[in-house]
A and B are shown apart, each in its own frame.
Chain A
Amino acid sequence: MNPLLLIIVPLVGAALAVAWPNNRTRPWLLPVVGFVHVGLTLWLFLDPPAVPPNAWLGFDPLARAVLPAVALLFLVCGAYGVAYLKVRSERPNRVFVALLLVVLGMLSAGHQARHLGLLWIATETVTLAAVPLLHFNGTPRAFEATWKYLLVGGTGIALSLLGSFALGYASLHGGGDGNLTFVALTGQGAGLSRPWVLTAWVLLLVGYGTKMGLAPMHTWKPDAYGEAPGIVGAILAGGVTTVAFTALLRVRAVVGAAGEGPIADRTLLVVGLFSMLVAALFLLGTRDFKRMLAYSSVEHMGILSIGAALGPAGVAAALFHVWTNGLTKGALFLSAGNLRRAAGSASMDDVRGMAVITPRSAAIFVAGMFAVTALPPFGPFFSELQLVRAALATGHGAATTMFLGCLLFAFFGLTRVVFGIVDGRPRPAVRAHGRRFVETAGVIVPPLVLLGFSLWLGLFTPTVLREAWLAAVAQLFPTP
């Protein structure tokens, strides 16, 4: 089976969406393409193809370790999209559906990219394709958020390209032949020019870190997640950030092979802890429950970055966390989308008593909040536990203390906002607005399914998944 199909199928779906005449039936393309995509991904997952070492693109162990999570998330979000776009039937959805599918195709390409330039092209196409998704609501606030996303994201695009060039020059200076596949770069190892490798690492960390939303490059995130539809937030937080994270892991492997691994790890640890700290502080201050999710996402990107800094065991934990965080965050974004529609506002100042107006969405939102703050037996608890173990085993006691402290403050911040909007007596205006929102199965089942995945990952982490994560670690840290 050709892994290119993972890219071609969504892009064909996107072309179909453009040509599809009917605004009412077009959204069905999302779950249909998502279903085919998940099927293909699982097939490749269970029967991994041999990847030629020089291939620019391939379903290698790292892609195998994370891409299925993104595919599953997209399928569930696609099913939610049908119900969501039915509610929003007054807006034309041709561009929205087509670009969501382009995002899926380019995410598949980015996860499988084994070439520095190709990786950049795929990631940046995702960034650009997401722009019209962000301002789907067409409000001035949405355009403001989109502008900030473009300016900050565009600078991130530019810096990661500059970093890619610097890494290319490191290879050229070291006598390389300009082969920019990660295999060739890693193979050159200590032959890479050190000063250029370090320059490249800083630029790529800032560039792809912007895409991930690591502090202090996270400033686009609260605005974008706050104004975008819930389904877009879920895919951005679970898919686009993941592709940037795998990009950093691949680059980190090259930097490690060049002998600068300790410096790379130290920067990842500092940036990760700083992201968690910033996120925890803003979580204590924010009054908007969609922006709250953005800060929670910044926090979890920090966790991933810390995991990446802790060597093989930490990376395995981080890959586990990619799954648990992506799927749990998806449940939160989708249920938050329901609450936002029913309440007509996302601010704690206006919204109260959602447990009365939309009991099911509110229940999922509260459960999701507990899951994402690492309450057992949900998945994030186990991935974070594994990460803490890796940190203690590598002697990072102070970092672990700070990590746990930030988790605690984030918990305070999240519970403050979540119970603030769920409890209490709804205001008359919100009550009247909420009557127009019906909690159909279409908007309840998808977040519930994602929450189920989170629970399943926590309770019964499949052995085959653990093996996949370890295989990816073996790819990133080859034993000499």
Chain B
Amino acid sequence: MSSGTLNLLIGLAMGLNLLALGSSRLPSLIRAVSLQGMVLGAMPLLMESKLDWRVGLVALATVVGKGVVIPTLLRRAMRAANIERELEPFIGFVPSLLLGAGGTIAAVALAQALPLLPEHAGSLLVPGAIASVLTGFILLIGRAKAISQVCGYLILENGIYLFGLLLIHATPLLVESGILLDLTVGVFVIGIIVDRIQRAFDSLDTRKLTTLRE
């Protein structure tokens, strides 16, 4: 494996985080998420010294799932709901970007504080993972449309996936594939609920979901 290429890809994924935070239009947000999913999916192939068919299968499933299937679903939901493409944020784009940049710096600092195995020492996996999780949180909290919140959730998941790569040599692939399956089903379920919310409220603006409160 070449750690240089891997770090390049992680850097790319971190850049896509910032792109997602700065996107003011839904299609570009979805594109950033789908691109990030594909970049992540390719990583296990780089980490294995010899190509195992199971690793290949997981990588392929990730690329297709995160990069193609889920974004297609989101685009379809977007078109079906016929919602405005402009995003209305709770947290503005510039503040989101600043938060994201600050988060990235904090992630690098935080990763320094945690002890790493020698083979992971020079890698950006941990900072990349923490930065993506933070980006996901900012999008989850800071966006009003259900679909952009789903995108935030996907980026959060991508961060966890990055972290999981630390364990790729140690954990059996059975667990990994189970996790992948659960996450995929999760997104499908979210997709169905988005569709139902659209029908019930005639909108995907989560600011309308305010009936239930104390």
Contacts and interface: CB of A to CB of B under 8 A. Distances in A.
Interface of A: 115, 117-118, 120-121, 124-125, 128, 131-132, 135, 139-141, 143-148, 150-151, 154-155, 157-158, 161-162, 165-166, 168-169, 172-173, 176-178, 180, 193, 195-196, 199, 222-223, 226-227, 282, 285-286, 291
Given A143-B196, A168-B167, A286-B214, A117 B140 contact: no
A154 B182 CA distance: 11
A47 to B, nearest CB: 30
B201 to A, nearest CB: 6
Contacts of A146: 193, 196
Interface string B137-173: 1001000001001000100110110011011011100
B214 A144 contact: no
A150 B150 CA distance: 10
A59 to B, nearest CB: 21
Nearest to A134: B193
Nearest to B133: A162
A128 B182 contact: yes
A147 B186 contact: no
B214 A282 contact: yes
Interface residues of B, number: 41
Nearest to B194: A147
A192 to B, nearest CB: 12
A169 B146 contact: no
A178 B169 contact: yes
Contact of A147 (B117, B140, B146, B171): B146
A124 B117 CA distance: 30
A132 B185 CA distance: 13
A143 B200 contact: yes
B212 A121 contact: no
Secondary structure of the B contact surface, majority rule: helix
B171 A168 contact: yes
A143 B214 contact: no
A120 B157 CA distance: 15
A173 B116 contact: yes
Given A121-B178, A151-B140, A154-B186, A222 B212 contact: yes
Q: Please give me the 9 A-B residue pairs with the lowest Cβ-Cβ distance, nearest first.
A: A178-B170, A117-B175, A144-B209, A140-B200, A121-B178, A223-B212, A143-B200, A162-B160, A168-B167
A178 B171 contact: yes
Given A140-B200, A148-B209, 16 more contacts: A117-B175, A118-B175, A124-B182, A132-B189, A141-B212, A143-B200, A147-B209, A151-B149, A154-B186, A158-B157, A165-B160, A165-B164, A177-B170, A178-B167, A196-B115, A227-B212
B156 A148 contact: no
